[in-house]
């Protein structure tokens, strides 16, 4: 049995997009691509664009990063609607969602460690497949570490606006997945769907690397009776090492003083053809040109795209 997603609950709603960075450091060129794509997709249709700071994973939060991210977005002219939402303020809502899952018999405690799962040797395309060890109750003498959600024995599909239909058989490829981590932090998959619904998000536009999370999020939306957004996963920027551009491969932060060349290059990466004369134009001028020119049909339908030529966005380019 296959569950398909088209987002009927939100098809006729005014578009609401969002950008949800993790404050583990400043934004880089890959972050800009995702933010700009989401901004243009929403604002070109007269919608709202909201900002959420995904700061639940406290060990990864870098002091001062939130302020830097806000200033970088402002420098690029990417102004958001409403106050930024900090995910760390939403624990009561996340806990309520956990209780709903438990009350419906969909969540249960798990005593398994990552080491134990690796030792079982059940590799899947998205990491170790959980074999259901604790599904029918904790093994004798074991204490709960995390909470998992029961997945169905079927495929769950999403119809991505750019990448097309994407399916996962949750039972065979993922297994029951964690919604509350062993360290007490609510897992990304659950917090994301709860907070997107709270902000009224109709259109989730983000990087391709998150496409494989989407069937799990679609399933959680179903479990919690939350409305389904539309999804669109943009190609990610690949560093010189062929991996997704990130802080780990020395991505440079978006400059606060003159981000225009970065924005021009990001528009080009999004399949647009900004005039060469706008390469050094103020961000507001670039956005004024880009909004009426935006078209999701022009986006490259790929997993990743190379770094822009003639623009040093990572220290690896200088090696």
Domain boundary among 154, 188, 222: 188
pLDDT of amino acid 120: 82
pLDDT of amino acid 7: 41
Per residue in 194-212, pLDDT (tens digit) is 999 999 999 999 999 999 9
| 204 and 84 both lie in a single domain | yes
In what side-by-side order are the strands of the sheet with 2-3?
2-3, 155-160, 164-169
Per residue in 25-48, pLDDT (tens digit) is 999 999 999 999 999 999 999 999
| 99 and 174 both lie in a single domain | yes
Is residue 115 within 8 Å of 155, Cβ to Cβ? no
| 202 and 173 both lie in a single domain | no
| 140 and 113 both lie in a single domain | yes
pLDDT above 90 (res 4)? no
For the chain, the domain total comes to 2
**Comparing 204 with 311, which gets the higher pLDDT?**
204
CA distances from 195 to 58, 93, 132, 217 (A): 17, 8, 28, 12
What's the CATH number where 237 sits?
3.40.50.620
Query: 283 lies in a domain?
Result: yes
| 85 and 109 both lie in a single domain | no
| 67 and 99 both lie in a single domain | no
Query: 3 lies in a domain?
Result: no
pLDDT above 50 (res 253)? yes
pLDDT above 80 (res 121)? no
Per residue in 83-109, pLDDT (tens digit) is 999 999 999 999 999 999 999 999 999
Domain boundary among 164, 188, 212: 188
3-class DSSP state of 262: helix
Question: What rounded mean pLDDT belongs to the chain?
Answer: 93
| 105 and 167 both lie in a single domain | yes
Average pLDDT over residues 225-248: 93
Average pLDDT over residues 103-132: 89
Query: 4 lies in a domain?
Result: no
| 62 and 203 both lie in a single domain | yes
Query: 297 lies in a domain?
Result: yes
* pLDDT bucket at 2, cuts 50 / 70 / 90: very low
pLDDT of amino acid 318: 58
Query: Cα 284 to the chain's mean position, in Å?
Result: 26
Domain boundary among 188, 222, 243: 188
Give the residue from 1, 16, 74 showing the smallest Cα distance to 229. Answer: 16
pLDDT above 80 (res 12)? no
Query: 156 lies in a domain?
Result: yes
Q: What are phi and psi of 203, to 5 degrees?
A: -135, 115
| 151 and 286 both lie in a single domain | no
| 257 and 298 both lie in a single domain | yes
3-class DSSP state of 149: strand
* pLDDT bucket at 124, cuts 50 / 70 / 90: confident
DSSP state of 202: -
Per residue in 255-305, pLDDT (tens digit) is 999 999 999 999 999 999 999 999 999 999 999 999 999 999 999 999 999
pLDDT of amino acid 119: 85
CA dihedral 263, 266, 267, 268 (to 10 degrees): 130
pLDDT of amino acid 317: 65
Q: What are phi and psi of 170, to 5 degrees?
A: -60, -40
| 183 and 298 both lie in a single domain | no
What's the CATH number where 130 sits?
3.90.800.10
pLDDT of amino acid 293: 97
**Structure-token pair, residue 60:** 């990864």
| 151 and 119 both lie in a single domain | yes
Domain with 274 in it: 11-90+196-318
Per residue in 162-172, pLDDT (tens digit) is 999 999 999 99
**Structure-token pair, residue 258:** 């003159």
**Structure-token pair, residue 131:** 């074999």
């Amino acid at each position: 049995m296959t569950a398909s997603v088209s987002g009927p609950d939100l098809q006729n709603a005014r578009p609401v997009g969002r950008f949800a960075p993790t404050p583990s450091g400043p934004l880089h060129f890959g972050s800009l691509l995702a933010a700009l794509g989401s901004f243009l997709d929403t604002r070109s249709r007269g919608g709202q664009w909201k900002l959420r700071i995904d700061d639940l994973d406290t060990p990864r939060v870098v002091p001062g990063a939130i302020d830097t991210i806000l200033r970088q977005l402002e420098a690029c002219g990417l102004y958001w609607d409403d106050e930024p939402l900090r995910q760390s303020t939403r624990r009561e809502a996340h806990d309520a969602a956990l209780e709903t899952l438990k009350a419906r018999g969909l969540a249960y405690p798990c005593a398994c460690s990552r080491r134990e799962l690796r030792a079982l040797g059940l590799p899947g395309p998205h990491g170790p497949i959980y074999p259901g060890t604790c599904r029918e109750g904790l093994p004798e003498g074991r204490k709960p570490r995390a909470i998992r959600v029961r997945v169905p024995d079927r495929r769950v599909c999403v119809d991505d606006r750019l990448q097309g239909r994407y399916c996962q058989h949750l039972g065979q490829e993922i297994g029951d997945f964690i919604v509350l981590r062993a360290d007490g932090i609510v897992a990304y998959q659950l917090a994301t769907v709860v907070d997107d619904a709270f902000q009224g998000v109709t259109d989730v536009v983000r990087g391709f690397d998150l496409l494989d999370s989407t069937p799990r999020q679609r399933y959680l939306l179903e479990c919690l009776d939350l409305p389904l957004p539309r999804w669109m996963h943009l190609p990610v920027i690949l560093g010189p090492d062929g991996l997704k551009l990130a802080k780990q491969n020395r991505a440079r932060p978006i400059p606060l003083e003159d981000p225009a060349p970065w924005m021009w290059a990001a528009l080009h990466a999004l399949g647009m053809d900004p005039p060469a004369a706008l390469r050094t134009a103020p961000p507001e001028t670039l956005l004024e040109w880009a909004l009426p020119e935006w078209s999701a049909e022009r986006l490259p339908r790929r997993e990743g795209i190379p770094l822009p030529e003639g623009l040093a966005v990572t220290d690896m380019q200088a090696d």
